[in-house]
């Protein structure tokens, strides 16, 4: 009889999972659009449909100037303390650590900005590693960022869950051989998220806990 893999690692996306950053992100995007492109409504709804991807990749898909990245990042740093942590996330992270899980973030953001945001919001201490899209060869939906997190955690794919709110997160996890968990509490594309074929769907942070029982102590597996 095949043994059941022991889960000991959870990898999280950042925006829309750990934090509900859409309102602040919209303000940063509008400011960057006005500064680089000019007057007129910023196409933020279209931008949201590409969530999970690296910002320069989104600009290429939207045929917008790559020069928008500098003011977008600048405004994102300025507004970071206004980004709300998603309800229930801090309790989830604390419980997972208490249960013996090692945690990582694999985000479409650049690594320095992701680590800065997590530090500003008081979440950085829960994570063993934070990997940004600028720190891998290919951003989501390629599996590189999930594989990088697994390598840093010295974990096999069958020991890990990846929690994301965008189709790119689910595709990245599945391509890396990791259990893909769809988080719906702040997603802007639930239909696309479901169409990506997640292995598990959770509607609140606490719903993840039944899939993450305490990690057995060494020798008790």
Which residues have a catalytic role annotated? Answer: 13
Instruction: With CA atoms as reference, report the closest residue to 117 among 73, 150, 148.
Output: 73
3-state secondary structure of 85: strand
Instruction: With CA atoms as reference, report the closest residue to 143 among 63, 151, 75.
Output: 151
- Which ranges constitute the DSSP H helices of the chain? 22-36, 44-48, 55-62, 69-78, 89-98, 111-120, 144-153, 167-175, 190-195
H or E element, residue 140: none
Instruction: With CA atoms as reference, report the closest residue to 107 among 202, 9, 23, 15.
Output: 15
Task: Please name every residue paired with 164 in a beta bridge, in sequence order, or none if there are none.
Answer: 182
Please state, in angstroms and rounded to a whole number, the distance separating the CA atoms of residues 218 and 72.
46
């Amino acid at each position: 009889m095949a043994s059941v893999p022991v889960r000991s690692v959870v990898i999280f996306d950042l925006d829309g999972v750990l934090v509900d950053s859409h309102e602040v992100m919209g303000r940063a995007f509008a400011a960057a659009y006005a500064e680089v492109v000019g007057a007129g409504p910023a196409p933020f709804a279209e931008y949201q449909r590409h969530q999970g991807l690296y910002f320069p990749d989104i600009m290429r898909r939207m045929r917008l100037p790559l020069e928008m990245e500098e003011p977008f990042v600048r405004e994102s740093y300025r507004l970071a303390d206004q980004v709300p942590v998603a309800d229930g996330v801090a309790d989830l992270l604390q419980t997972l650590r208490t249960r013996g899980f090692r945690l990582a973030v694999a985000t479409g953001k650049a690594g320095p900005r992701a680590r800065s945001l997590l530090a500003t919001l008081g979440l950085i201490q829960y994570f063993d590693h934070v990997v940004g899209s600028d720190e891998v060869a290919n951003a989501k939906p390629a599996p590189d960022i999930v594989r990088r997190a697994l390598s840093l955690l010295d974990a096999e794919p069958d020991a890990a869950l990846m929690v994301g709110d965008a189709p790119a997160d689910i595709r990245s996890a599945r391509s890396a051989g990791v259990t893909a968990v769809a988080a719906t509490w702040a997603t802007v594309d639930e239909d696309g998220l479901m169409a990506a074929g997640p292995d598990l769907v959770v509607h609140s942070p606490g719903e993840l806990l039944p899939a993450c029982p305490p990690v057995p102590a060494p020798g008790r597996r």
